[in-house]
Copies of this chain bind each other. A is one copy, B any other.
Amino acid sequence: MEIKTSEIKKIEDELSKYIDSNVEFILKIGNYILSSGGKRLRPILVLTFSKGLKGENSPNDYPIAIAMEYLHTASLLHDDVVDGAKLRRKKPSANVVFGNDTVVLTGDYMYANALYLFSIYGNIDMIKNVSNTVKKMAEGQLLELKSIGDLNITMQDYYQIIEGKTAVLFASCCYVGAELANADNKIKQNAYNYGLYLGYAFQIIDDLLDYIGNKNKVGKPVFNDLREGKVTYPLLSIKDKLSQDEKEFVKKTIRTQNPDEKHIEKVVNMVIDKGGVENSLGKAKEYVNKAIRELDIFPQNEYFSNLRKLAKYIVEREF
Contacts and interface: CB of A to CB of B under 8 A. Distances in A.
Interface in A3-28: 21-26
B24 A145 contact: no
A100 interface: yes
B128 A116 contact: yes
Interface stretch (A107-115, A178-186, A206-214): A107-115
Interface string A39-70: 00000000000000000000000000000000
Interface stretch (A117-125, A232-240, A300-308, A311-319): A117-125
Given A81-B100, A101-B145, A137 B115 contact: no
A308 B142 CA distance: 43
Contacts of A104: 78, 81-82, 104
A111 B100 CA distance: 19
A24 B67 CA distance: 30
Nearest to A123: B124
Per DSSP, chain A at the interface is: helix
A35 interface: no
A294 interface: no
Contacts of A135: 21, 109, 112-113, 116
A25 B132 contact: no
B100 A112 contact: no
Interface residues of A, number: 45
When all copies of this chain in the complex are counted, the total is: 2
Given A26-B142, A81-B100, A134 B108 contact: yes
A78 B105 contact: yes
A128 B131 CA distance: 14
A119 B112 contact: no
A22 B140 CA distance: 10
Contact of A109 (B109, B142, B146): B142
A119 B142 contact: no
A104 B127 CA distance: 22
A24 B139 CA distance: 10
A139 B109 contact: yes
B111 A111 contact: yes
Contacts of A108: 78, 107, 111, 134, 137-138
10 contacts: A78-B105, A105-B145, A108-B134, A111-B134, A112-B132, A112-B134, A112-B138, A115-B131, A116-B132, A120-B128
Interface of A: 21-26, 78, 81-83, 100-102, 104-109, 111-113, 115-116, 118-120, 123-124, 127-128, 131-135, 137-139, 141-143, 145-146, 160
Given A25-B146, A118-B127, 8 more contacts: A21-B139, A22-B139, A26-B138, A82-B105, A102-B145, A108-B137, A113-B135, A116-B131
